Each structure stands twice: as C-alpha cells, then as structure tokens.
Amino acid sequence: MFWNLDFFFCNFPTVSLILNIETATPVCSVCISEDGKELVSKEIREGQAHAESLTLLIQDALSASGLTMNQLDAVAVSNGPGSYTGLRIGLSVAKGICYALDKKLITLNSLEVLAWGTFQKTGRTDVLYCPMIDARRMEVYTALYDFEATPSVILETQAKIIDEHSFHDFFEAGHRIIFSGNGASKCQSIVNNSSSIYEEISSSASFMSLLSQKSFICKIFSDLSYIAPSYLKKPNITRAKKKL
C-alpha cells in the first residue's frame, strides 16, 4: 500500500513520538520523529556493524532529543527487502523494545522508504522512481513508483537480475527513471539509457518519519508474535566444513 500525499498535510490532532530504525543495507541508522517531523537522527556507514552499533545509536538519539524510551509511542522498522542479517537485527531490536515497554510496532517496506526519500530529495514529479537495494551479483531488490498526482506503484517489489534490457519498456514508453540506493551504482554501466538518472542517495531512517506517522494515525501496526522480515529470497546458508 502506497501513500496519498494529500493525507500528510491534513491537520491531525494525534501527537506521536516514534523511533524509526533502518538496517536493511550496510547503513545503520535511527531517527526520532514527532508528528512526522524529524527531531534527531544518527547513523553509521561502516557496514556489517549493525549488531554492535544499533542500540548505541538509539541511546545517542534519545540523549540528543532529551527523551526517554518510555516517552515513545511506537517503534517503526524498515522490514525488507534487504540484508538478511541487517533485517533480523533491526526487527529483533524493535520487537524487544515494544515487548518490554508495551509499545506499538510499525513495519515499512524498505523500497517504499527509499523511493519516498529520493522523492523528498529531488522533488521531481516528471519521472518514475526506482529504488534499488543490492542483492549480490547483478541482482537487486527493486520496485517502481510514480509520484505524479496520486503516488502509485508501477512495478511491485521484487528481486530482479539487471541486464541491458531492464526497464526497456518504460524507456520506450517515454519515461525517465531516477535510480537510487546501494544497488543502483552497479547497474549504471548496464542500464545506461539517456532517460536514466542516477542519484547517490542511500537508505536512511530519516526517510521513515512521515510514513511511520501515517501508519500510526491509521493504526496500521504489526503483530509482535507473528511479524518476520520480508526477505523475498531464501537465505543462502552453507554448512561449515568439518576439520579433519
């Protein structure tokens, strides 16, 4: 489900403080928002440091905002697709906070968050938005969004192998496409159409504020007992070789 932009600018009486968590990519980030507006954000870009960094970032963000964990109304987490390890860590921490403090859990599509963030950065309505999250080799998690008039999903969330024919039909139909995310750079030399635009924009919890607020207002919460990361693909698990 994608969001109607007009909805965001209505005057809602609901006051909410939400902790947003984004760990779907090598960037580990958190953001505390109030009524859909960012109060403070913290991130680390070292990669593969989510397990030791996430809770520290949350503590830093709370300290910087002058808030305590108990003052939060909900926790929102980017729940995939993306890194298997990153998604597990992000959701586990979010669920732990919600269980311990009886808070509401909000889960968001990682690609919708990235598309929305790219639109916020560029402000263009004359293009399609194609967020890409690296899925190794020449495969990416991707989708396609249109922000003209009412925002809509043009291509559903999927794992896609990129080749020279990718998105050809959209280019032929006269569309220009903005590609963003950590999967876009490796596709730039392959999808090198004159109608393709590449933006160096990475996934961030800062992009989640308005989307998590929308979910909070509409009471779109996830069940702590049953929610799991949206991997799209099965993990590639190998057994360690026995030592002789």
115 domain-assigned? yes
239 domain-assigned? no
The yes-or-no verdict on residue 14 having pLDDT over 70 is: no
184 domain-assigned? yes
Q: Which domain CATH number covers 62?
A: 3.30.420.40
| Domain that residue 50 falls in | 5-109+203-217
Task: Clarify whether residues 29 and 149 are in a common domain.
Answer: no
The yes-or-no verdict on residue 5 having pLDDT over 90 is: no
Residues 6+ apart with CB under 8 A from 87: 23, 24, 78, 79, 80, 81, 229, 230, 231
223 domain-assigned? no
Give the pLDDT confidence score for residue 15 in this predicted structure.
74
Give the pLDDT confidence score for residue 232 in this predicted structure.
83
The yes-or-no verdict on residue 242 having pLDDT over 70 is: no
Task: Clarify whether residues 103 and 116 are in a common domain.
Answer: no
Task: Clarify whether residues 101 and 207 are in a common domain.
Answer: yes
Instruction: Reduce the secondary structure of 112-159 to three states and give it as a string.
Output: HHHHHHHHHHHCCCCCEEEEEEECCCCEEEEEEEECCCCCEEEEEEEE
Number of structural domains found in the chain = 2
DSSP-based three-state secondary structure for 99 = helix
136 domain-assigned? yes
**174 DSSP assignment:** T
Task: Say how far apart CA 145 and CA 74 lie, in whole Å.
Answer: 27
Give the pLDDT confidence score for residue 165 in this predicted structure.
93
Task: Clarify whether residues 71 and 189 are in a common domain.
Answer: no
Task: Clarify whether residues 213 and 95 are in a common domain.
Answer: yes
Q: Judge whether 90 and 23 are in contact, CB under 8 Å.
A: yes
The pTM of this model reads 0.90
The yes-or-no verdict on residue 129 having pLDDT over 70 is: yes
Q: How confident is the model at residue 1 (pLDDT cuts 50, 70, 90)?
A: very low
Task: Clarify whether residues 89 and 121 are in a common domain.
Answer: no
Task: Clarify whether residues 141 and 84 are in a common domain.
Answer: no
Task: Say how far apart CA 206 and CA 21 lie, in whole Å.
Answer: 9
Task: Clarify whether residues 46 and 148 are in a common domain.
Answer: no
244 domain-assigned? no
**81 DSSP assignment:** S
Chain mean pLDDT for the chain: 90
Task: Clarify whether residues 119 and 156 are in a common domain.
Answer: yes
222 domain-assigned? no
Q: Which of 9-13, 155-159, 164-168 has the lowest mean pLDDT?
A: 9-13
Task: Clarify whether residues 104 and 208 are in a common domain.
Answer: yes
Task: Clarify whether residues 41 and 150 are in a common domain.
Answer: no
32 domain-assigned? yes
Q: How confident is the model at residue 236 (pLDDT cuts 50, 70, 90)?
A: low
Task: Clarify whether residues 37 and 64 are in a common domain.
Answer: yes
Give the pLDDT confidence score for residue 244 in this predicted structure.
45
Give the pLDDT confidence score for residue 83 in this predicted structure.
93
Give the pLDDT confidence score for residue 46 in this predicted structure.
78
Task: Say how far apart CA 75 and CA 19 lie, in whole Å.
Answer: 5
The yes-or-no verdict on residue 180 having pLDDT over 50 is: yes
